[in-house]
Structure 1
Amino acid sequence: MSTSIRNQLGTIRRARGVSAVELARSAGVSRQTIHAIEAGSYTPNTEVTLKLARRLEVSVEELFSLAPDNPEAPAGVVSELLSAGPVAKGQAVRVCRVGDHLVSIPVQSVPYYLPEADGVISKLSRSPGRVELAVFAPEDTHHRKMTLAGCDPAIGLVAGIVEKVSGVELVSAAASSRLALTWLKEGKVHIAGSHLEDPATGEYNLPFLQREFPGTDLAVITFARWEEGFVTAQGNPLGIRSAGDLAGAAVRFVNREQGSGSRGLLDRLLAEAGVPARQVAGYDRVAFGHLAAAYAVLAGEADCCLATRSAAQTFGLDFVPLRSERYDFVMRRQTLEMPAVQSFLDVLQRAALRRKLETLAGYDTAQTGAVQA
């Protein structure tokens, strides 16, 4: 095979858990041919190449690509952007492929550490939701990854174990429950996390999915139950115990974005207490995610937010429990066939994960891994 062609067949095959014999049978060639292709000593014809890509559920470009003329220069690609908030040129992103969609997910820097990234945004597009990227290593950006959108603060615990046991990277896209499910409907993520409560029945997620995904065969698997409530500074100096305590200028609140389960819960609590949203100082101020909202309280930028116990526990803040909620993972039924997803579901059954969720996040894992639909 020409040295100008980069070959990722062996890497992707092993990441997918497909044997050389099985792949050879799918492509109509011998096992020796597969090994020769992977070694770079044989160039497959178009028909074999297409069969290989179809069996491994990747694009031809992910298997074979031309080396750039200048290997030191990042390669430019256009992708769909998965971001709940604004982005800027130069922002670091992870890059993944979900079906026919090439998606980029912004990663956030934290004090002292630069984030792991596949590239940076090089140009903002006039088309909403699309950006041009400078990608560091195009052949390494797509395979061995699966995407999960949602707001669960503990998903990093799952991601660490999944990568350790299977080599699959779980790339998380921060999103409200509704936005995560929208991206799932559009085919831009493999899995969406949701904790949307149906006010009429008190059931989580299933009524919403039945309305918004008619005729779609979905799998719904519980991650955990968590407590959601008010997060305040240590000692709860303002004595916040109920939604009624948020009225007036004395309490600076930071809200979650529209479409989040937390904002939906706040609106119901305010309605029950007879408090108009306009009387809550900071109702229109938004933090994207439980941890971001809790950090605003830690930093003294707000007195209170509505978030999970795990978010309060992470920053050593006080927590006033209000509701127990079920957080589910939602995916298309055919996604269950992906080896990466099977590895992900296997991790949900592991005692080591459950101990971490219970100890570090305060979650109830009695239903973890239970199939709801």
Structure 2
Amino acid sequence: MGERHRAEPVSNIDNRLKALRVAKGLSQGDLAKSAHITRQAVSSIESSQYLPTTAVALRLAGVIGCRVEDLFSLRATGEIVIGELVGEQDRWDDNQMPLRVKVARVEDRYVIRPVTALGELLAYTVPADGLLVANDVSAKARGKAAKRARVQLLRDRRIIEQEIAIAGCDPAIFLAGEYLRRYKETATVTGWTMGSSAALEALKRREVHVAGLHIVDGKTGESNLPYLRQHLRGDDYLIVTFAAWEEGLIVRQGNPKGIRKIEDLSRSDVTLINREEGAGARHLLDQRLEKEGMRNRDVRGYNLIADSHFQVARRIAEGQADVGVGVRSASNMFGLDFIPLQQSRYDLVVPKPYLTAHPSIGNLLEAIVSRQFRTEIEALGGYDTTETGKIRQLRPE
């Protein structure tokens, strides 16, 4: 069998079972009885004589009240990998402290992004895959967008290579990642927040495995496919519906400015917070402004930019703006009011070869069609999972 299928040696596992058992005030006998195994088995596991099966590890974690990875985790190997640094590379140089990064194996190369690009909150909750220890400015000097960089891994490389890098703007993708872990314990999702067109371009540059987008064609009213047919060459892509969601105007709680329709955005007492060019929400706004015969300069705050649906809602909740175009779930998160404009479909775009080369992607697609996942994201508000998992034809037959 190949390297990926070899059993993990006990010597490469950090075992914290005894420490957490003692902290919980349990004897070996207590733990064994509750986990339905023998005391001798507990003793052998604690002394690292053998590794428990997945079922036993789950029972042990359940008794102690923690996650399996709190009990057992792979030791950092310190292995060095070389890849392409994308994102905020100009904000780091060799004289600074090591930079925390995420590493994705995309086709035949590693793609490296600073953890800080995940945002202010996730940067402190998503563990790094490694530390950027050196880079090569020669690539930049040749005018290339990415730089070669060296990363000292903090996690086992084989585990890192199971991660799925997804570009898009639906925050529910992180929830999908947690459901993926139920299918494959070591696989995770890293979601890079960016607008629809930027996500697709990142996929075309082979910086991510999956791109998510929601762009409604102004002429046909069809979601995504007209845009994809215009911007993707060939047919070697799988288009899978993640969910449909409501898009509309997010306004302050109680709607104190009495904003009801797009025309109200031209009022002098109304300040908009906008999304970046290429975002699905920006696309919707521009369509509606054109339909009403309004110009960008007629809207106060048109050039005030937020880089996610949540940031739009947060800026409105903090009183920095009166209105923005976004999704209902973001409005609900911050207790704001919502005026629906349309329902659009959020689709995932995956190069077909990745389904074979990266089996975790197939597990993710299975996770999102599960009844439990669909029920949970519908509870967020504004989501319709009726067509979740449906495959779309990129080219008309």
State whether TM-score is above 0.5: yes
Query: Which residue type is aligned with residue 346 of structure 2?
Result: Y
Among residues 123, 145, 158, which one is paired with 1:128 in the alignment?
145
Moved more, 210-219 or 148-157: 210-219
Maintained 8 Å contact 1:184/1:190: yes
Query: Secondary structure at 1:180's aligned position in 2?
Result: helix
Among residues 137, 148, 151, which one is paired with 2:166 in the alignment?
148
- Report how far residue 180 of structure 1 moved: 1.1
TM-score calculated relative to the size of structure 2: 0.70
Map 1:50-61 → 2, pairs under 5 A: none
What corresponds to 2:6 in structure 1?
Answer: 10
Moved more, 256-265 or 130-139: 130-139
What corresponds to 2:348 in structure 1?
Answer: 329
What corresponds to 2:106 in structure 1?
Answer: 98
* 1:81 and 2:65 are equivalent in the alignment: no
Matched residues in 1 for 2:81 and 2:119: separation?
21
Query: Which residue type is aligned with residue 230 of structure 1?
Result: L
Query: Secondary structure at 1:103's aligned position in 2?
Result: strand
* 1:163 and 2:181 are equivalent in the alignment: yes
Matched residues in 1 for 2:106 and 2:183: separation?
22
Identify if the C-alpha distance between structure 1 residues 370 and 132 changes in structure 2 by more than 3 Å, giving closer, same or farther: same
* 1:192 and 2:192 are equivalent in the alignment: no
Moved more, 244-253 or 351-360: 244-253
* 1:320 and 2:331 are equivalent in the alignment: no
Identify if the C-alpha distance between structure 1 residues 113 and 81 changes in structure 2 by more than 3 Å, giving closer, same or farther: closer
Query: Which residue type is aligned with residue 105 of structure 2?
Result: R
Matched residues in 2 for 1:194 and 1:215: separation?
18
Query: Secondary structure at 1:334's aligned position in 2?
Result: helix
Maintained 8 Å contact 2:244/2:344: yes
Matched residues in 2 for 1:367 and 1:309: separation?
19
Gaps in structure 1 of 5+ consecutive residues: 1-6, 13-66
- Report how far residue 196 of structure 1 moved: 1.3
Moved more, 134-143 or 250-259: 134-143
Among residues 329, 341, 344, which one is paired with 2:361 in the alignment?
341
After superposition, the C-alpha distances for 1:260-294 in whole angstroms (9 at most, x for unaligned) are 11101000111122221112121111111111111
What corresponds to 1:232 in structure 2?
Answer: 251
Matched residues in 2 for 1:112 and 1:182: separation?
23
- Report how far residue 209 of structure 1 moved: 1.7
- Report how far residue 104 of structure 1 moved: 2.5
What corresponds to 1:4 in structure 2?
Answer: none
The two structures, once aligned, show a CA RMSD in angstroms of: 2.8
Matched residues in 1 for 2:315 and 2:249: separation?
13
Query: Secondary structure at 2:391's aligned position in 1?
Result: coil
Among residues 199, 220, 223, which one is paired with 1:204 in the alignment?
223
What corresponds to 2:154 in structure 1?
Answer: 137
After superposition, the C-alpha distances for 1:48-69 in whole angstroms (9 at most, x for unaligned) are xxxxxxxxxxxxxxxxxxx98x
- Report how far residue 332 of structure 1 moved: 1.4
Maintained 8 Å contact 2:133/2:152: no
Query: Which residue type is aligned with residue 79 of structure 1?
Result: E
Maintained 8 Å contact 1:157/1:356: no
Query: Which residue type is aligned with residue 108 of structure 1?
Result: G
Query: Secondary structure at 2:202's aligned position in 1?
Result: helix
Query: Which residue type is aligned with residue 342 of structure 1?
Result: G
Identify if the C-alpha distance between structure 1 residues 88 and 246 changes in structure 2 by more than 3 Å, giving closer, same or farther: farther
Maintained 8 Å contact 1:192/1:330: yes
Matched residues in 2 for 1:322 and 1:149: separation?
25
Query: Secondary structure at 1:199's aligned position in 2?
Result: coil
Map 1:146-295 → 2, pairs under 5 A: 146-167=164-185, 168-295=187-314
Maintained 8 Å contact 2:216/2:222: yes
Identify if the C-alpha distance between structure 1 residues 98 and 112 changes in structure 2 by more than 3 Å, giving closer, same or farther: closer
After superposition, the C-alpha distances for 1:95-135 in whole angstroms (9 at most, x for unaligned) are 11111232234322329955422235567854434374654
Matched residues in 2 for 1:306 and 1:351: separation?
30
Matched residues in 2 for 1:75 and 1:211: separation?
40
Maintained 8 Å contact 1:81/1:131: no
Query: Secondary structure at 2:372's aligned position in 1?
Result: helix
How many residues matched? Answer: 308
What corresponds to 1:56 in structure 2?
Answer: none
Query: Which residue type is aligned with residue 388 of structure 2?
Result: T
Identify if the C-alpha distance between structure 1 residues 77 and 218 changes in structure 2 by more than 3 Å, giving closer, same or farther: closer
Moved more, 165-174 or 306-315: 165-174
Map 1:8-47 → 2, pairs under 5 A: 10=6
Identify if the C-alpha distance between structure 1 residues 296 and 77 changes in structure 2 by more than 3 Å, giving closer, same or farther: farther
Identify if the C-alpha distance between structure 1 residues 201 and 227 changes in structure 2 by more than 3 Å, giving closer, same or farther: same
* 1:357 and 2:377 are equivalent in the alignment: yes
Runs of 4+ aligned structure 1 residues displaced above 4 Å come to: 74-78, 85-91, 111-114, 120-125
Gaps in structure 2 of 5+ consecutive residues: 9-75
TM-score calculated relative to the size of structure 1: 0.75
Query: Which residue type is aligned with residue 333 of structure 1?
Result: K
